[in-house]
A = this chain, B = another copy of it.
Amino acid sequence: INYTPPITYITAPSVARAAVLKESSSLPEDMPQIKGYDFNQGVDHRALLQSFLTTGFQASSFGQAVQEINKMIEKRLEPVQEEQESCDSHSSASGCTIFLGYTSNLISSGVRESIRYLAQHRMVDVIVTTAGGIEEDFIKCLAPTYLGEFSLKGKELRQQGINRIGNLLVPNDNYCKFEDWLMPILDQMVLEQKTEGTHWTPSKMIHRLGKEINNPDSVYYWAYKNDIPVFSPALTDGSLGDMIYFHSYKNPGLVLDIVEDIRRLNSKAVFAKSTGMIILGGGLVKHHIANANLMRNGADFAVFVNTGQEFDGSDSGARPDEAISWGKIRMDASPVKVYADASIVFPLLVAETFAHNAARLIKEKNSD
């Protein structure tokens, strides 16, 4: 065991020592040190979430996303100069126009309640989602979605008429109820098109449906009430499309134009004082908001929450820095991507930003 190594062995690893024990330059003094939450303080959730900033990895990204969204909120509350307001009818009255985008599954999930809260209190200015992101909100007003498991067998579910969305279950009857609700509205829309020359676009249809649902649980009811435009250019890609398709055999002729909507969406970006993007998930909703913000040479603030990765060259997985190359985010912005399932992260983000801020404002008001 007490083996004596040959002489070359003794001298040789000096290379190794030099490599391993290389000296370091000093780091800036104000660089944050990594330090997690100390539970010996007890369970103070807010302090815990604030400690995320110095916890590293995605916890730090969460902390940075909180800061970025709070910058949007602060900017949004800045007083807008009278002059500007009066001359330019297209300019936003808000100091920062916040674009919120999310994929359909988040409306199917309980993240819907967080989104509804933002729409209800007019905390965001523009919404972009997919067809499912629209219809699932209305369907949930008609019948509930349930918690299941990711591993339930498709064949058995189909035999029972139960649709699976990840670990959620939606009885197919919910879609039958949706048909019952939607068909008369489609009739009415066709009638208005024919008689009043209404030029329907996806955003106008969503506005109308939000009015019709007349239910405070609905995101789009509040978007309607608060006049928050909701864009969904591929509105036919889902149950709404199925119904429009069926309806077209009974009462053909409905036209949904996407040109007017792109103009309306782009104008929201072009005429904004500043803009912030909060985008949950990838695909169309991410690209559509970012592309609109290219029209103003980039968003000022951006938070992406998704699980996509850049290696396959998808827009969904692209880091915010790719959007900077396109002019979709400003060169001097500090965009944040949180790599996480939004079902965990978004409610926590809302808690530390919009909802916290609302509570703070109420408190300030009351103490006046």
Contacts and interface: CB of A to CB of B under 8 A. Distances in A.
A329 B147 CA distance: 23
Contacts of A313: 56-57, 105, 108-109, 165-168, 341, 343
B147 A295 contact: no
Interface string A230-262: 000111111101101110110011111111011
Contacts of A297: 15, 18-19
A57 B340 CA distance: 11
Contact of A19 (B8, B236, B327): B327
Contacts of A147: 31-34, 53-54, 56, 60
B339 A309 contact: yes
Nearest to A147: B32
B8 A89 contact: yes
A8 B84 CA distance: 13
Contact of A109 (B56, B258, B345): B56
Interface stretch (A67-75, A206-214, A281-289): A281-289
Interface in A127-154: 130, 132, 144-148, 150-154
A123 to B, nearest CB: 10
Given A56-B145, A57-B167, 17 more contacts: A2-B252, A16-B245, A23-B161, A31-B148, A34-B108, A36-B111, A52-B343, A53-B147, A56-B313, A59-B347, A105-B312, A153-B321, A154-B320, A157-B324, A233-B235, A244-B262, A248-B263
Interface residues of A, number: 182
B236 A132 contact: no
The oligomer's copy count stands at 4
Contact of A343 (B8, B31, B32, B57): B57
Per CB-CB distance, the 5 closest pairs between chain A and chain B, nearest first, are A36-B110, A166-B313, A283-B283, A154-B324, A24-B161
A105 B315 contact: yes
A55 B282 contact: no
A296 B351 contact: no
A172 B22 contact: yes
Nearest to A342: B312
A150 to B, nearest CB: 6
Nearest to A88: B8
Contact of A57 (B40, B120, B166, B257): B166
